[in-house]
Amino acid sequence: MNLPDVLAALLKAQNDFDSTAYARCFANNALVYDEGRTHQGFEQIKAWNEQTNAEYATILEPIDYTTTPKGGILTTLGSGTFPGSPIVFKYHFEWAGEKILSLKITG
C-alpha cells in the first residue's frame, strides 16, 4: 500500500512504540481525538501515546487508505492487549505539508 510519508512514519513509530517519533509527525498545535478525549500539541500527544502504548501495546496493520480533500482516512487492523483485539480502526487525518494537523480515531 502506498501511503503518504507522514503516515508511513506514524505507523512505524506506533509499531516501534516510539512516542517521541510518533509525536514528531504532528504540527505544533495538532489535535488528537481518541476515546472521548482531546490531546493538543507535542507534549500531550507524546504523553497520550506513551500511556496508550503502556496500556494497550497496539500494533497497527494498514488495510486501506483513502485520500480526502484535506488529508485521508487510514483503515487499520489493530491488535494489542485491549478487549476485542484485533479491532478495525479508522484514522481520520488532516494535514498540511508533512505534518498532521488533526487525527480522529474511530473503531
pLDDT of residue 97: 86
- For residue 78, give every residue at least 6 positions away whose Cβ sits within 8 Å of its Cβ, in sequence order, or none: 58, 59, 60, 61, 85, 86, 87, 88, 89, 107
Instruction: Convert the pLDDT of each residue in 85-95 to its tens digit.
Output: 999 999 999 99
Q: What's the fold here for domain 5-106?
A: Nuclear Transport Factor 2; Chain: A, (3.10.450)
**42 three-state secondary structure:** helix
pLDDT of residue 107: 85
Domain boundaries, the chain: 5-106
pTM of the model: 0.95
Checking phi first, is residue 61 left (phi over 0); if not, alpha (psi -120 to 50) or beta?
A: beta
